């Protein structure tokens, strides 16, 4: 391969690399937009014929838990809802941290966007 051919080949690789970076940045921006949209959306489910109702946002964060007073002493409901909400969200956070650590091992130490999971 001549020096000129090598220079042309290197230049074409640069263009491809720049295009790849551009596409990755566009994808990253789109992912961020979707994550922001998901954070504003919620789903609500109930179990036990409505005895327990849970609302979760699109980022997989539990935003509310409601317990029917028939299930427990009505005076304990607000504290119980807060305790459950805090415990579940801490568990979700820790599981995300664990997943991030595991993914880091397979990515050669490069942090990956765990929110994609």
Q: What is the DSSP letter of 72?
A: S
Q: 92 and 113 share a domain? A: yes
Q: 107 and 68 share a domain? A: yes
Q: 83 and 103 share a domain? A: yes
Strand-pair category, 52-57 with 42-47? antiparallel
Q: 59 and 18 share a domain? A: no
Query: What percent of the chain lies above the pLDDT cut of 90?
Result: 3
Locate 49 and state its tokens.
Answer: 């014929």
Residue with tokens 């074409």: 12
Number of structural domains in the chain = 2
Per residue in 67-117, pLDDT (tens digit) is 998 888 989 899 998 889 888 888 888 877 877 777 677 666 666 665 554
Number of alpha carbons in the 13 Å side-chain half-sphere of residue 40? 5
- Residues 48/38, Cβ–Cβ less than 8 Å: no
Whole-angstrom distance, CA of residue 27 vs CA of residue 89: 28
């Amino acid at each position: 391969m001549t020096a000129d051919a090598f220079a042309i080949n290197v230049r074409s690789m640069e263009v491809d690399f720049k295009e790849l970076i551009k596409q990755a940045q566009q994808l990253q921006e789109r992912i961020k937009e979707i994550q922001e949209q998901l954070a504003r959306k919620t789903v609500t489910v109930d179990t036990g014929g409505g005895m327990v109702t849970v609302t979760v946002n699109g980022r997989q964060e539990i935003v509310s838990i409601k317990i029917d007073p028939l299930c427990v002493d009505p005076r304990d409901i607000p504290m119980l809802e807060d305790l459950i909400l805090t415990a579940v969200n801490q568990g979700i956070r820790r599981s995300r941290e664990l997943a991030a650590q595991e993914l880091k091992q397979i990515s050669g130490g490069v942090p990956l966007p765990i929110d994609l999971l």
